[in-house]
Chain A
Amino acid sequence: MTTDTREIGWTRDEMARRVAIDIPNGAYVNLGIGIPELVARFVPQGRTLVYHTENGLLGMGPSPEKDKADPELINAGKRHVTALPGAAYFHHADSFAMIRGGHIDLSVLGAMQVACNGDLANWSTGEPDAIPAVGGAMDLVAGVKSVYVITQHCTKNNEPKLVERCTYPLTGRSVVNRIYTELAVIDVTPAGFALVELCPGVDLEYVRSRTGAPLLAR
């Protein structure tokens, strides 16, 4: 996990905390690999959230101290985690029945591109020499009730990740409900991208200048 060095906007931790604020008490939540993993650190006071990891654990807790790590207790990103009181282990078919069967309330995923109709691309650049790897992303977006994306607003080359139409291979069609970037919280609505909240100190025109599709004001 690298530290965010951009001058404007929320840090990665602040983005993760902003996601956590929107998760209701008692929700069953799947966290994807990368920035989404950070969300587990920020459970708002008074709430109990149950984190699901697709490799067979409900009730995932934070990383253990180094000397307490168990190589057979890991998350989807293959990092060491813990099991909280009330946790349960299960096999992969049960885990994806939870996902595909609509039992998981929310999935928080990373993205390469999100289109204004909710299309998500987050598994492949489609380059010929890339090693294709999909993991559980396509099952998650097809089955989980709500999908939140947490991502930097633009790529390292300053290309918008929020676009009219994804140019990378899709993970799913019209699946994203809400996007959290370092600049703003944005909903995907039938009319396209719609601003929910700006990061303090960031103005709407700046966000629009870095977004590849129209962004409706509140």
Chain B
Amino acid sequence: MIDKSVPGPAAAVADIRDGASVMIGGFGEAGSPIELIHALIDQGARGLTVISNNTGSGEVGLAALLKAERVSKVICSFPRTANSTVFPDLYRRGKVELELVPQGTLAERIRAGGAGIPAFYTPAAVGTPLAEGKESRVLEGKEYLLEHWLRADFALIKGRCADTHGNVVYNKTARNFGPIMAMAAKVTIVQVNSVVDPGGIDPEVVVTPGIFVDRVVEVPAPQHESELVAAGAVYP
């Protein structure tokens, strides 16, 4: 019998060690697995490399992980948002390294990592400062940049529902990076509002097949970053 469900966020992230690379899903607050991130803060791992589109807002979720100085490097397309002060402050003080990646290149590097494609050529960023130091090549009459895959030790993502085999469906634009991060990490951990038995999700609507998922955690009423920030919440 396959049962990928684990009892709670703390158990799900218990083996994330110092220096691990961690993909964290979400675009802004949509799809940000706040409860898993908070469990990671409680767990204490340091020196993490975080791969995520943004860097969080306020002092909860991803921003709280940064604030606790657990992250040494961020690979990201847009490290600032409204109410984002933690990352800019750490970056200006030299406390965190940033690898800035165009958003589509970030997505494709993650997809490639999960698909076993070590590198690929893309037209994005040709002729810009982000092309500096990158191999380029003219293909089909146009210039392209060589980009390498991204893989990670862990992925923390948020879905709406999963079955115990790890099949996942998402909620609206909270899907964003979840499906590709699930493919690109050695251990993929998904928090969902509900975990159901096999058969509880129509196979026709599964977005992330369970082969890409290692652990599912039920978080019945996940918190929303914007609501926490509006309430002035600070974690821990």
Contact = CB atoms under 8 A, between A and B. Distances in A.
Contacts of A124: 129
Contact of B129 (A137, A169, A173): A169
A135 B77 contact: yes
A134 B175 contact: no
A72 to B, nearest CB: 4
B188 interface: no
B80 A143 contact: no
A135 to B, nearest CB: 4
A138 B28 contact: no
Interface string B127-146: 11110000000000000000
Nearest to B125: A138
Contact of B128 (A96, A136, A169): A169
Given A93-B107, A132-B100, A138-B130, A100 B122 contact: yes
Interface in B21-56: 27-31, 53
- Tell me the interface secondary structure of chain A in the complex: loop
Say which size band chain A's interface belongs to. Answer: 35 or more
Interface stretch (B4-12, B64-72, B176-184, B194-202): B176-184
Interface in B87-118: 87-88, 91-92, 98, 100-108, 110-111
A72 B173 contact: yes
A134 B103 contact: yes
A34 to B, nearest CB: 13
B172 A72 contact: yes
A57 B171 CA distance: 12
Contacts of B170: 89
A72 B78 contact: no
A95 interface: yes
Interface string A39-60: 0000000000000011111000
Given A133-B79, A138-B102, A72 B174 contact: yes
Interface in A71-97: 71-74, 78, 83, 89-93, 95-96
A155 to B, nearest CB: 20
Interface string A105-129: 0000000000000000000101001
A78 B172 contact: no
Given A124-B129, A136-B104, 20 more contacts: A54-B103, A55-B173, A56-B27, A56-B175, A71-B30, A73-B173, A74-B173, A89-B172, A91-B180, A100-B124, A129-B92, A131-B80, A133-B79, A134-B101, A134-B130, A135-B77, A138-B102, A142-B126, A170-B128, A172-B127
Interface of A: 53-57, 70-74, 78, 83, 89-93, 95-96, 99-100, 124, 126, 129, 131-139, 142-143, 169-173
